[in-house]
């Protein structure tokens, strides 16, 4: 592998964490010590269902750990916490220590896509499904 200092960032939502390709990617990145930082925006909703209805193990961090990928939960509403976790992960990757999985726990303020009307008439503070 070329030693360029480049790091790949994979950013996805908690709904995508159910895709089999993520498990395959964790496995290969761990085996090959690839310079990858996985960031999961965990707003506790897939497109239209809550995390609790979509996954049996709701501590998403454990999915990375199962493949030997160092994993961390951060407050996704705290920009400094996310930045610090990302900087540590990038430093690890550049040092040749392989991938890191960051789960940024956050809140979903709007619908899943621009066409979503589900938030119309929603009272402030209520979760968006």
Q: How confident is the model at residue 36 (pLDDT cuts 50, 70, 90)?
A: very high
Strands across the sheet with 100-105, in order? 8-13, 36-42, 100-105, 71-75
Q: Does residue 74 or residue 121 have the better pLDDT? A: 74
Q: Which residue has the tokens 């009307």?
A: 117
CA–CA separation, 87 vs 67, rounded Å? 22
CA–CA separation, 17 vs 31, rounded Å? 20
pTM: 0.82
Greatest alpha-carbon pair distance for the chain in Å reads 53
pLDDT at 120: 44
Q: Does residue 103 or residue 58 have the better pLDDT? A: 103
């Amino acid at each position: 592998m070329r030693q360029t200092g480049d790091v790949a960032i994979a950013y996805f939502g908690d709904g995508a964490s159910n895709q089999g390709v993520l498990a395959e990617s964790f496995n290969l990145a761990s085996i090959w010590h690839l310079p990858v930082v996985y960031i999961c925006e965990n707003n506790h909703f897939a497109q239209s269902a809550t995390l609790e209805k979509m996954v049996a193990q709701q501590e998403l961090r454990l999915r990375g750990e199962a493949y030997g990928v160092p994993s961390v939960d951060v407050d996704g509403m705290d920009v400094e916490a996310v930045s610090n976790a990302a900087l540590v992960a990038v430093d690890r990757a550049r040092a040749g220590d392989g991938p890191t999985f960051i789960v940024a726990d956050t809140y979903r303020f709007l619908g899943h896509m621009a066409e979503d009307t589900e938030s119309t008439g929603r009272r402030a503070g209520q979760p968006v499904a």
